[in-house]
Amino acid sequence: MKLLTAFFKLIRYPNLIYIGLTQFLLQYCVVAPLLQYNGESPSLSPLSFFLLSLSTVLIAAAGYIINDYFDINIDIINKPDKMVLDKIINRRWAMAWHTIFNMAGVSIGFIVAWRIGQIYLGFTQVFCSLLLWFYSTSFKRQVLIGNVMISFLTALAVVVVGFYEKKIYESFEAIMSPVGRRLIQIIGVYALFAFMISLVREIVKDLEDMIGDSKDGCRTIPIVWGVTPAKRLCYGLLAGLQVLILLVEIRIAFLGWYIAIIYLVLFVQAPCVYIYLQLKKAHLPEHYHKVSSMVKLIMLTGILSMIFFKIML
């Protein structure tokens, strides 16, 4: 039982649930209802969608494993009590699981692409797998690029669902159709939200892990630019999120979606203000950890807002 618990901790199972939930809600609360409202059907069958989501989750799990593998020296300093590699799980077994998950994820991705007749889409999973490897081995230790890369991959987990929809891949005419444009707009907004909120969390985590990162030679934003500039970047991203959500609220106000607006104000915008206030006075690792947990909660409330498309379309 101890080994199983350690394994689930290694692959960050709560984050994998986030990924699966995001894709499920996007497919069945946004894409499918929008297409059905316009008299069309989704390109992916339930089985194909399940396989696509499984592929994404497996590659993400492999990414978490390889990240911990190369972060052992950092984790010894930053979070020795939370380590599982070398303490419970052997590093060779970790690498074996990383390889198995990657191979399975990429293979399943190609199977889904083959099932819809667009085999080239399978290379999306290859691209994600390679980015996660290079992130863990080198880019993570470089200023800003590592943060942007992870945030990009977070957004890609949202966008990949749209990649497999024929209204987006079939033809330029399909993309420019009313339903195609609306799909791209909605998916684009959620992808941008995912990118920005993930970038905030990545910077906050760098603030939390400054001690271990500096001893391992990492060149993260707070180490290279300083704590205050790193915080200011987070403030700017939080302000950008508020503008993005405000624009969404103005758009859906014309549709009469007032309950959705109230939800966004109470459970996304207000918590963003709270995070700004907490981050402003944070100066210890435990303070930044609390802020990071709050950002993760906003990710969840943002994801759950997709339910309103199912209710109100």
What pLDDT score does 169 carry?
A: 67
pLDDT in the model for residue 303: 94
Domain that holds residue 217: 2-312
Distance CA 225, CA 103 (A): 38
Degrees, nearest 5: CA angle 264-267-271: 115
Q: Based on the structure, what is the number of domains in the chain?
A: 1
pTM of the model: 0.93
Cα–Cα distance for residue pair 60/133, rounded to 1 Å: 11
Q: Which residue has the tokens 């799980």?
A: 89
- pLDDT score, position 43: 87
pLDDT of residue 174: 65
Local confidence pLDDT in tens for the 313 residues of the chain: 777 888 888 899 999 999 999 999 999 999 999 988 888 888 899 999 999 999 999 999 999 999 888 877 776 777 766 777 767 888 888 899 999 999 999 999 999 999 988 899 999 999 999 999 999 888 887 888 989 999 999 999 999 998 888 777 666 666 777 887 888 899 999 999 999 999 999 999 999 988 877 877 788 899 999 999 999 999 999 999 999 999 999 999 999 999 999 999 999 999 999 999 999 999 999 999 999 999 999 999 999 999 998 888 6
Phi-psi region of 118 (alpha: psi -120 to 50; beta: other; left: phi over 0): beta
The confidence score (pLDDT) of residue 172 equals: 62
pLDDT (0 to 100) of residue 94:
87
The pLDDT of residue 171: 62
The pLDDT assigned to 275 comes to: 96
Tokens standing for 225? Answer: 């630019």
